[in-house]
Amino acid sequence: MKIYAVRTLDISEEKIEKICLLIHSGKRFKIKRFINKEDKVRALIGEILIRSIIFEKLNIQNKYITFEKNPYGKPYLKGHPKFNFNISHSGDFVVCAIDDKPIGIDIEEVKYIEYKDIAESFFSVSELDYIVEEDLNIQLNKFYEIWTLKESYIKCCGQGLSIPLKSFSIDIDKYENIKVIIDDEHKEHIFKKFDIGLGYKMAVCSLNKEISNNIIMIDQNSLINNYSKFNME
Ligand code: COA
Ligand code: MG
């Protein structure tokens, strides 16, 4: 298993158009439809990041890389069931995790929201308690911790929000061991939370035995340059 992260930088519209010519048309149209430029950059970087990883790990040329989606929208690499990946983007980060078993990753920029109302409506009672029993000044961070852990679980399962958010509960004990509880039973999923940058929360959920501690940071300009190069060859 490996975890990758790119800190995004602004790209000119012209350069976005140019790189878009080097990705699959379906994704290109999706990116063109975004009004917000930051959304375009995040989606584009996510796409070339995973394509570059696949080229590096599996030596598949870009034109032979085909993604399909499960009925809930989780993308996977066609013809390679042992290659599992998941992407998340928020703020200035695009992150990606790969593994030989299903995996889920989620990153969120910590922004002020009415976390108590949201947690009351969508989180389990014990998740809400985990947040509100903390000092007021760290409750928002605790909320995002639970949020990203819940979402990493949903994304690992690949069933999107068809899994009701209250149907499972994330338990973090005093030793920071994390597990998911459904109908009083522990599931085999394992979790890790990451402090990837000030103002961000990130979590990974896996069906394997271990989650890497290490995040491989990738420079956006090198990623774009290498990607453009291997596509021209
Ligand atoms: N399962 C796993 N991964 C999925 C997926 C699914 N069903 N559907 C899409 N993805 C992948 C895609 O690669 C997508 O990237 P792309 O849009 O560039 O193609 C990526 O996940 C997006 O992840 P993220 O950046 O974390 O987006 P999100 O937080 O807006 O949404 C969803 C994640 C789509 C999987 C889904 O869980 C959702 O709609 N969540 C809404 C937020 C929410 O209510 N979360 C509750 C947390 S408590
Ligand atoms: Mg998310």
The model's pLDDT over 9-51, given as tens digits with 9 standing for 90+, comes to 999 999 999 999 989 889 999 999 999 999 999 999 999 999 9
The Cα–Cα gap between 128 and 88 comes to 24
For the cut 80, the answer to whether the pLDDT of residue 231 exceeds it is no
Residue 46 phi, psi (nearest 5): -60, -45
Choose one of 87, 99, 117 to mutate for the ligand 1 pocket test, by most ligand atoms within 8 angstroms of C-beta: 87
Alpha-carbon gap, residue 26 to 29, rounded angstroms: 5
Mean of the per-residue pLDDT values for the chain? 95
Q: Residue 68: is its pLDDT beyond 80?
A: yes
**What's the mean pLDDT in 93-107?**
98
Number of neighbouring beta carbons within 10 Å of residue 40: 19
Measured in angstroms, how far is the CA atom of residue 105 from the centroid of ligand 2? 8
- pLDDT at residue 164 tops 90: yes
pLDDT at 199 over 90: yes
Average pLDDT over residues 211-220: 97
CATH 3.90.470.20 range(s) for the chain read 2-101+214-232, 106-206
- Position with higher pLDDT, 134 vs 230: 134
CATH for 106-206? 3.90.470.20
Terminal C-alpha separation, the chain: 29
User: What is the spatial distance between Cα 160 and Cα 151, in angstroms, rounded to a whole number?
Assistant: 9
- pLDDT at residue 232 greater than cutoff 70: no
**Of 208, 173, 205, nearest to 192 (Cα)?**
205
Half-sphere exposure of 137 (CA within 13 A, CB side): 0
The confidence score (pLDDT) of residue 191 equals 98
Give the pLDDT mean for 178-182.
96
% of residues, the chain, pLDDT over 70: 99
Closest-CA residue, ligand 1 atom 42, reads 151
C-alpha to C-alpha distances, 134 to 140, 156, 196, 200, nearest whole angstrom: 10, 28, 22, 19
8-state DSSP, 9: -
Q: How far is CA 29 from the centre of its chain?
A: 21
**Quick one: average pLDDT of 171-180?**
95
Q: Is the pLDDT of residue 233 over 70?
A: no
Integer Cα distance of 220 and 5 in angstroms: 10
pTM reported for the whole predicted model: 0.96
Say if residues 179 and 189 touch (Cβ distance below 8 Å): yes
Query: What is the arithmetic mean of pLDDT over 155-167?
Result: 95
Local confidence band at 109 (pLDDT 50, 70, 90 cut-offs)? very high
Calpha distance 91→73 (Å, rounded):
22
Among 155, 161, 168, the mutation site with the greatest number of ligand 1 atoms within 8 A of its Cβ is: 155
* Dist. CA 59–CA 181, nearest whole Å: 39
Residue among 184, 101, 194, 190 nearest 153 (CA): 190
The answer, yes or no, to whether residue 184 has pLDDT greater than 90, is: no
Domain 2-101+214-232, CATH 3.90.470.20 — does that match?
A: yes
Is the separation of the CB atoms in 142 and 130 below 8 Å? yes
CA 147 to ligand 1: nearest atom = 48
Region 90-100: mean pLDDT is 98
Q: Is the CB of 71 within 6 Å of ligand 1?
A: no
